Structure formats: C-alpha cells, structure tokens
C-alpha cells in the first residue's frame, strides 16, 4: 500500500501523463538548438563560440529532460504494476507532498538524500 487516497492517486497519474507530454514537447522544441553547428556557416569566430556554448547548454537541458522523462516513464510503469508511491530503496510509502511536488520520484526523501550524499 502506498498510503495514497484514490483521489490523490488519480491526481498523480494525471500529473505523470501531463509531465510526459510536457517533456516530449520540450524535447521537440530543443531539438533544433542541439543540432551540430555547420562549420561552413558564414558566422564570425565569436558568434561561432556563442553558438557552440548555446548548443552545449541546449544539450545539457535535453539530457536533463531525457533523464526526467525516463523517471516519468518508470513511474507510469510502477502505476501499472502497483508499486507506484513506494520507495524503490526502502519500500516505505513516499509521502503525498513529495509525490505532488515530484510525481516521478522513485525514492523517499531520506533515501534520496543518502543517495546524493
């Protein structure tokens, strides 16, 4: 049992579906910016450096979006197999407030902090 009410569970399922759409949109949107810079493009040396920096930022953003999307997909799978809302590390219910803020969270805050430490 994940300790969530039916209404909370429904809300989180909705949040996850919404997040997935949003992340897909972001990934589509940033595809352009992450394309390799064509070297024969008639831009000056400084603007080329700008362009490369922007591309690096765009790629880092895309990596973050992709990583988050993976978590969202895993959370949706967990909904399907009934393990959603339980910490993957300690198996305890993840508090509603944490899930509402971060619906794709695979761990409780305690385990997350241990992991980050």
Q: To the nearest whole angstrom, how small is the minimum distance from the Cβ of residue 83 to Zn ion? A: 13
Alpha-carbon span 35 to 38, nearest angstrom:
9
Q: To the nearest whole angstrom, how small is the minimum distance from the Cβ of residue 110 to Zn ion? A: 5
HSE, side-chain direction, 13 A CA sphere, residue 32: 3
Confirm or reject binding of residue 87 to Zn ion (CB under 5 A).
Answer: yes
Among 30, 61, 83, 89, binds Zn ion (CB under 5 A): 89
* DSSP secondary structure string for all residues of 11-56: HHHHHHHHHHHHHHHHHHHHHGGGSPPPTTS---HHHHHHHHHHHH
Confirm or reject binding of residue 90 to Zn ion (CB under 5 A).
Answer: yes
Q: To the nearest whole angstrom, how small is the minimum distance from the Cβ of residue 86 to Zn ion? A: 9
* Binding-site ranges for Zn ion (CB under 5 A): 87, 89-90, 108, 111
């Amino acid at each position: 049992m994940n300790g969530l009410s039916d209404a909370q569970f429904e809300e989180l399922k909705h949040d996850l579906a919404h997040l997935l759409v949003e992340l897909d949109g972001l990934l589509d949107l940033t595809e352009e910016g992450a394309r390799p810079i064509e070297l024969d493009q008639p831009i000056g040396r400084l603007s080329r450096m700008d362009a490369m920096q922007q591309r690096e930022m765009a790629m880092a953003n895309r990596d973050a979006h992709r990583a988050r999307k993976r978590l969202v997909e895993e959370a949706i799978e967990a909904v399907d197999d009934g393990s959603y809302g339980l910490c993957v590390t300690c198996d305890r219910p993840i508090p509603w407030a944490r899930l509402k803020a971060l619906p794709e969270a695979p761990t409780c805050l305690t385990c997350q902090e241990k992991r980050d430490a």
